[in-house]
Amino acid sequence: MTEVSVAKQDMAATGELVVLKSVNKHFGALHVLQDIDMTIARGEVVVVIGPSGSGKSTLCRTINRLETIDSGAITIDGKPLPAEGKELARLRADVGMVFQSFNLFAHKTVLENVMLGQIKVRKKDKKAAEERARALLDRVGVGAQADKYPAQLSGGQQQRVAIARALAMEPKVMLFDEPTSALDPEMINEVLEVMQQLARDGMTMIVVTHEMGFARSAANRVVFMADGRIVEEAAPDQFFSNPRSDRAKDFLSKILHH
Amino acid sequence: MRRPAERRTRVSLYAEAREIVFDFLEGYDLLGAFWTTVQLAALSAVGSLVWGTLLAAMRVGPVPLMRGFGTAYVNIVRNIPLTVIILFTSLGLNQTLGVSLGADDVETINFRLAVLGLIFYTSSFVCEALRSGINTVPVGQAEAARAIGLNFNQVLGLVVLPQAFRSSVVPLANVLIALIKNTTVAAAIGVAEAAVLMKEMIENEAQLLLISAIIAFGFVVLTLPTGLILGWVGKKVAVKR
């Protein structure tokens, strides 16, 4: 208990990085996000779990405005999310995103994928960008693949390149939208290891995932969503061993007994 | 075994026959006419590619006014007969409004007007070929590009269009082939390209079928390699996913 309160004080000291206030979103008649309130502190790792269709991916995508919201407010580092335009592009550069389907630029080599944003958005010169790109690719363990095209890499390698591409922008926060859901089982760990290292290095992360092992070991907090609402928020130990809500108990009973 | 003298007679007979059959070609600048066709096609192709790309960018862009303009342009222009457009450049633009596109002599004015009309028309087809190419680029590519902070022009210019062009090579080749043949419509305002020459020859000579065949062959020489080469290029540059 004391540990939790110490952690909370730390967060207060370093500040709130991402704040969502009564966020609502509809897809036609479907109310996918219902009055979502959420605060992510600097350096915190938040894992969002929940059944399919609960709105967790949509939540993740609203944070860099790949999905617009109908009402409510989202602020990042104290600044409200701007409307489409230059301001928004600038903000997106500070928010790294990793997709379920990797989305590496198919016509560019791995190295060019990691260099593009640095040169075009951060206005770095080519040499500095390449140096940083190579260092990042080494860090995620795909340095040897730098000159290949994405289609020549395995899924796990592609996803690690995608993480390097996001890191190259020196983001304040990283969003992971089901980063391992499209991977073959034997490739999941190589991606999770990179993410765990990132978490240890103090990166602020919001991770939508079905990997309960990752949630247990790397998360500061687990957010459980169902039917467009946040049903429960707790430290991972507490959530997995002693969930409060029936919905969470039901969900966990279905996935943890295999 | 023929005797040499007999063979010589045969050879000279062939030569004589050839002279008689192709006699009518004398005095006509066949290569010059096709050179005009090539110039018309090449200039119009470059212009249509540029203007068509801009139109496609408008049609997929976020600005409603531009989207509306792009959609209206394509749907109106591609449904007007090319002959009407080409005639309008001469009768409307030049003779009524006095547009001469910076040229003095009638020949150059008409050539430039024809290029303008061909660009105006062909760009609507280029736009649609490109737009179908854009639709082959997965949404995730643009999302990833936006997510690293690229603005709309960069997303389009650096990520979406380069991939769209690669998958549009074959449809664009179709447009180019149609354009090469459409240059014959420039005959309507007197640009001295292959079709004008054909008409002139048919009027003056008695070799209707042969003249038509020669002109048709000239166009096949231009279009067939275009299709084959661009088909090969299309395969070569295709984006692997």
Residue B241 domain-assigned (yes or no): no
Question: Residue A49: beta bridge partners?
Answer: A224
List CB contacts (< 8 A) between B163 and chain A. Answer: 106-107
Distance, in angstroms, between B114 CA and closest chain A CA?
37
Distance from C-alpha of B203 to C-alpha of B160, rounded to nearest angstrom: 52
Digit-coded pLDDT (tens) for A208-234:
999 999 999 999 999 999 999 999 999
Flag if B150 and A149 touch (Cβ within 8 Å).
Answer: no
Question: pLDDT digits over B207-233, tens only?
Answer: 888 889 999 999 999 999 999 999 999
Instruction: Tell me which of A121-125, B198-202, B231-235 is least confident.
Output: B198-202
The helix/strand/coil state of A13 is helix
Output DSSP code: residue A81.
Answer: P
pLDDT on residue B11: 67
Which pLDDT tens digit goes with each residue over B147-192?
A: 999 998 999 999 999 999 999 999 999 999 999 999 999 999 989 8
Asked if B146 and A66 come within 8 Å (Cβ–Cβ), the reply is yes
Q: Which of A48, A38, A44 lies closest to A15 in space, CA to CA?
A: A44
* Closest among A63, A11, A9 to A36, alpha carbons compared: A63
The pTM of the full predicted model, rounded to 2 decimals, is: 0.81
One-letter amino acid at A106 equals A
Inform me whether the C-beta atom of residue A128 falls under 8 Å from chain B C-beta atoms: no
Place of tokens 């997965």: B138
The burial of A31, by beta-carbon neighbours within 10 Å (0-12 exposed, 13-18 middle, 19 or more buried), is given as middle
**Residue B19 in this model has a pLDDT that exceeds 70:** no
pLDDT digits (tens, 9 = 90+) for A136-177: 999 999 999 999 999 999 999 999 999 999 999 999 999 999
For residue A104, what is the nearest residue in chain B, using CA coordinates?
A: B141
Is residue B69 a part of any domain in this protein? Answer: yes
CA distance B182 to B187: 10
Per-residue H/E/C for B44-95: HHHHHHHHHHHHHHHHHCCCHHHHHHHHHHHHHHCCCCHHHHHHHHHHHHHH
Which residues on chain B are in Cβ contact (under 8 Å) with A97? 144, 147
**Residues of chain B contacting A, Cβ within 8 Å:** 62, 138, 140-141, 143-151, 154, 158-159, 162-163, 166, 239-241
By C-alpha distance, the chain B residue nearest A167 is B148
Is residue A214 within 8 A of residue A51, CB to CB? The reply is no
In a domain, B206, yes or no: yes
Q: Is A144 touching B (CB cutoff 8 A)?
A: no
Distance between CA atoms of A123 and A116, rounded to whole angstroms? 10
**Segment A193-205 mean pLDDT:** 94
Say how far residue B11 (Cα) sits from the centre of its chain.
42
Here the tokens at position A8 are 């909370």
Contact A121 B144 (CB under 8 A): no
* Closest to A55 measured CA to CA, from A72, A35, A73, A41: A35
Task: With CB atoms and an 8 Å threshold, state whether B144 touches A104.
Answer: yes
Residues of A numbered 145-174 whose beta carbons fall under 8 angstroms of chain B's beta carbons: which are they?
149, 151-152, 162, 165-166, 169
Q: Which domain holds residue B61?
A: 31-235
User: Of B138, B241, B186, B202, which is closest to residue B37 (Cα–Cα)?
Assistant: B186
On chain A, the residues whose CB falls within 8 A of the CB of B144 are 97, 99, 103-105, 162, 165
Q: Are strands A30-41 and A79-80 parallel, antiparallel or unpaired?
A: unpaired
Q: Is the pLDDT of residue A1 over 80?
A: no
pLDDT band at B9 (very low <50, low <70, confident <90, very high): low
The CATH number given to whatever domain includes residue B118 is 1.10.3720.10
Q: Which residues of B touch A103 (CB under 8 A)?
A: 138, 140-141, 143-144
What does DSSP assign to residue A102? Answer: -
% of chain A surpassing 90 pLDDT? 86
* Domain A2-255 CATH class label: alpha beta
The domain limits of chain A are: 2-255
A93 CB within 8 Å of a chain B CB: yes
What does the alpha-carbon distance between residue B132 and residue B56 come to, in Å, rounded to a whole number? Answer: 10
Tally the domains of chain B.
1
Q: How confident is the model at residue B101 (pLDDT cuts 50, 70, 90)?
A: confident
CA dist list (Å): A62 to A151, A170, B74 = 29, 20, 35
The average confidence (pLDDT) of chain B is 90
Are B134 and B60 in contact, with CB atoms under 8 Å apart?
yes
Q: Is residue B80 part of a domain?
A: yes
